[in-house]
Amino acid sequence: MTKTTMNIKNPAWYPPESVQREARARGEEAPSVVPPGPDNPLGDHAIILGFDGYLIHGTNQPDGIGMRASRGCIRMFPGDIESIFDRVPAGTQVQIVNQPIKIGWYEGQPLIQAFSPLEGEGHSMSTLVETVTRLNQRKAEGWSFDYEQLRGLLNDPSDRIVALNPRPEPDKTHDTDYKGIYAEIALRRL
């Protein structure tokens, strides 16, 4: 939990040391500051959080919204950050929720978006159980899903939205010579 500390219109971006280090490793030099304008990854509005170096901000890269594409900042569409900018005063409480598994429905079809867990965490059995529980809340609508596909998505998260397949139909083929355990026992007694 943290709080907002300041709102800045037309912010400058100061690339953190990690960005500068990565640029040097590629043989490039990162700028020490990116002034306001179309090349600024913060967009035109930024709300500073109480965590050092973390912001809620607009972006010039909207494909990263909702993704773990930054170093902890929360990106918003330019119109969305602009709409809340003047309504969020300093001191507003902010709670950041780590939710690596997102579930939604589109026209009755369950959708999953699984992200890699944060460093030091993992998708455990409890993650699978919690996800199944959330999915089963819709079971009343008659939808059943492929548990193996879900397990595969959690084991190898792609960050993409994936439609869950229906549960496979049970294999109805069986050995027609098999009469069941009781028939077999009766035959042995003869």
**Catalytic annotation, residues:** 57, 73
Query: How many other C-beta atoms can be found within 10 angstroms of the C-beta atom of residue 167?
Result: 13
DSSP E strand stretches across the chain: 2-9, 45-49, 55-57, 74-75, 93-94, 101-106, 109-114, 161-163
Please tell me the distance from the alpha carbon of residue 11 to that of residue 20, in angstroms, as a whole number: 19
Using alpha carbons, list the distances in angstroms from residue 166 to 51, 144, 148, 149, 171: 43, 6, 11, 10, 15
Instruction: List 145's β-bridge partners, or say none.
Output: 166
> DSSP secondary-structure letter at 32?
S
Q: Sign of torsion, CA 148 154 159 161?
A: positive
